[in-house]
Amino acid sequence: AQTVTQSQPEMSVQEAETVTLSCTYDTSESDYYLFWYKQPPSRQMILVIRQEAYKQQNATENRFSVNFQKAAKSFSLKISDSQLGDAAMYFCAYRRATIYGGATNKLIFGTGTLLAVQP
Amino acid sequence: DAGVIQSPRHEVTEMGQEVTLRCKPISGHNSLFWYRQTMMRGLELLIYFNNNVPIDDSGMPEDRFSAKMPNASFSTLKIQPSEPRDSAVYFCASSPRAGFYGYTFGSGTRLTVV
């Protein structure tokens, strides 16, 4: 079974600095998708960035970028120029790409990293 | 599109009462997921539907929980009877078939059972 591990329960960063959140996963599949979701205090789950496993190029979305290391099964999130609004719980998630039996695949979430941004 | 719509946003009920949570997925999304989030257990997948058919309900904690999806635009999660340990935030999410798009989540229902 696939698993997602986020080994940092909490992180802290100074405003305007850069922080990296770690995520590792375990799978025997070769084709899959990886995601980072943000959950601010409002509790809304927001998709931050996604990566396709067969693409070597790391995804970027403005100040957010990932470091995808397929062989190491690592998918870290880098937040540059951190802002107060980045304070949130961040979840890493995995989704198998191959669909068996016609049903879509579920997301498998890590336990989350709580990011604090210090002014 | 208005996104995934959940109601109510907050629910406070007494132990033993029936609770019904509602969800309207994004039009065109063919999969719907119900999650429960607590501090102790994090995000737990309770059940998910594909084309209105339940695919995996192994996360439903016990028989007090039931979920239905009578059509493509509506789903309910019912707890009967409710217990204090059911207090949590319940999320509904929907997704198109293609996995690349991930989920779109609703804003959740915070359930408190007293």
**Would you state the pLDDT for residue B99?**
74
Mean of the per-residue pLDDT values of chain A? 93
Residue of B33, B43, B97, B103 for testing the chain A interface, max A β-carbons within 10 Å: B43
Rounded mean pLDDT, B86-113:
92
**Would you state the pLDDT for residue B40?**
87
The pLDDT > 90 percentage for chain B reads: 81
| pLDDT exceeds cutoff 70 at A109 | yes
Which residues of chain A make contact with B103, given a CB cutoff of 8 A?
Answer: 45, 47, 107
CB contact under 8 A, A109 and B43: yes
A105 — pLDDT class (breaks 50, 70, 90) = confident
**Would you state the pLDDT for residue A48?**
97
Q: What is the pLDDT of residues B22-37, one digit of tens each?
A: 999 999 998 999 999 9
**Would you state the pLDDT for residue A103?**
63
Residue of B57, B103, B107 for testing the chain A interface, max A β-carbons within 10 Å: B103
Beta strands in chain B (DSSP E): 5-7, 10-13, 19-24, 31-38, 42-50, 53-56, 65-71, 74-79, 88-95, 104-105, 109-113
Decide if A111 touches B, using CB distance below 8 A.
Answer: yes
Tokens of B31: 């999969």
| pLDDT exceeds cutoff 80 at A102 | no
The pLDDT > 90 percentage for chain A reads: 84
CB contact under 8 A, A107 and B50: no
**Would you state the pLDDT for residue A104?**
67
Decide if A50 touches B, using CB distance below 8 A.
Answer: yes
B2 — pLDDT class (breaks 50, 70, 90) = confident
Chain A residue closest in CA terms to B6: A44
CB A74 within 8 A of CB A7: no
Q: What is the pLDDT of residues A45-85, one digit of tens each?
A: 999 999 999 988 999 999 999 999 999 999 999 999 999 99
Decide if A114 touches B, using CB distance below 8 A.
Answer: no
Q: Please enumerate in sequence order all residues whose Cβ is within 8 A of that of A14, keeping only pairs 6 or more positions apart, or say none.
A: A82, A117, A118
Task: Pick B95's closest partner by Cβ from A43, A50, A104.
Answer: A104
Decide if A96 touches B, using CB distance below 8 A.
Answer: yes
| Dist CA A75 CA A55 (whole Å) | 13
B41 — pLDDT class (breaks 50, 70, 90) = confident
Chain A residue closest in CA terms to B51: A103
Rounded mean pLDDT, A97-107:
74
Q: What is the pLDDT of residues B59-94, one digit of tens each?
A: 998 899 999 999 999 999 999 999 999 999 999 999
Helix (H, G, I), strand (E, B) or coil at B4: coil
Instruction: List the 34-63 stretch of B: residues with Cβ below 8 A of A.
Output: 42-43, 45, 48, 50, 55-56
